Structure 1
């Protein structure tokens, strides 16, 4: 099954807003709104990696006999998209390597997020191409997994990702902002960010931390419904 109605990435204000916020702040905003968007155990291959963009999704499954392809999709991914690969969290076979990294980097793709593993990490580090995955290991996915569908809802680290959702990644991991809630999530995250900046500034001016937190309602920032 393949669909072609993905909103994947256009350059838009909300992607820019997300790119200015760290994942910890966005995670707190998701908690405040009761949204599960933290991608559990999906981490950057380098703590320097950052990404922000809209999801272009791929779902993998076990290989058939004869096996299908692992990844001849790269030329269809729009510039600025985040490629999101759901391999069911498998850590015994990769779905991303150096050829895909080189082409994605050259074509201006924002990064890759994998519910599973990648290989050929040296090249992504050399190019500065952001890859976020559960781990890395060298064994190929060829003849072990195959593409089942593109541009459908997938699961990444226990979070649901739909085509066109915003992905934001940094040294702390990856979050997904569902497109139907992105304005609310970003507004909440910006409020949290400004409050925390105000607390830091107050403490730099000599205020006690407990007083600053009380003044700027720190303990309510992440609480749902407050």
Structure 2
């Protein structure tokens, strides 16, 4: 699936709706650490993973970008380090000119003022003035895969990021995930509309029926919601 199709499928989907869809489909949930944030609000990115393992020099980013396709998202693995910033304005400008959809850094950035001017969507664990003071051997898999928090991503994955964080998912399941996420979104929108019109969530979920069924059958609330088609937890 190319970047244009990903953009079309996920344009109006949020990470919470997509995370619920991933869980419902039984796909492992791979979400970035809670400290990862977009540099500005209302950020929304989706694109194929372009991995890069940082070892102290920007050359790995240039090599990754040299092998990129427009719409990719540069995923920077800096092991979550908090003693150095690994992405600044020049790498960001290079990524922007190459047509990348954004950058997500498991680590820190710098040149915040310049990055805001460039306006390429960026997710980062925070900012620090100083760049690396080290230079380590580059891994053989430096542009083939990237570790990001508790999970690993490759170009066989894509990411979705917004104000709630960032998710990584298998590219081959992108259409399935989007279809389920749309259904979840529409269900929640209907529920919210009914609530604004005076019908409580308890009424919509037939909560009294659930309490009775829990007592007699021992079912969970999620099982009850599946019965009535009112999923709000998955």
TM-score (structure 2 length as normaliser): 0.78
1:152 CA drift (Å): 2.0
RMSD: 2.4
Whether 2:165 is the aligned partner of 1:152: answer no
1:82-106: per-residue Cα shift (whole Å, max 9, x none)? 0011111112122211101122223
Match of 1:72 in 2: 62
SS of 1:135 mapped into structure 2: coil
C-alpha separation in 2, matches of 1:81 and 1:152: 14
Match of 1:211 in 2: 203
Q: Is the 8 A contact 2:15 2:160 kept in 1?
A: yes
C-alpha separation in 1, matches of 2:136 and 2:12: 36
Q: How many pairs are equivalent? A: 209
Match of 1:184 in 2: 176
C-alpha separation in 2, matches of 1:93 and 1:70: 16
Distance 1:68 1:203, change over 3 A: closer
Whether 2:65 is the aligned partner of 1:52: answer no
C-alpha separation in 2, matches of 1:192 and 1:68: 41
Larger proportion of helix: 2
TM-score (structure 1 length as normaliser): 0.81
Distance 1:34 1:165, change over 3 A: closer
Aligned residue runs from structure 1 range 34-53, under 5 A: 34-41=27-34, 42-53=36-47
Q: Is the 8 A contact 1:71 1:95 kept in 2?
A: no
Q: Is the 8 A contact 1:43 1:173 kept in 2?
A: yes
1:51 CA drift (Å): 0.9
User: Among 95, 98, 113, which residue is 1:107 paired with?
Assistant: 98
C-alpha separation in 1, matches of 2:137 and 2:19: 32
Match of 1:3 in 2: none
Q: Which has the higher contact order (CA 8 A, sep 6+)?
A: 1
Match of 2:128 in 1: 137
Q: Is the 8 A contact 1:94 1:137 kept in 2?
A: yes
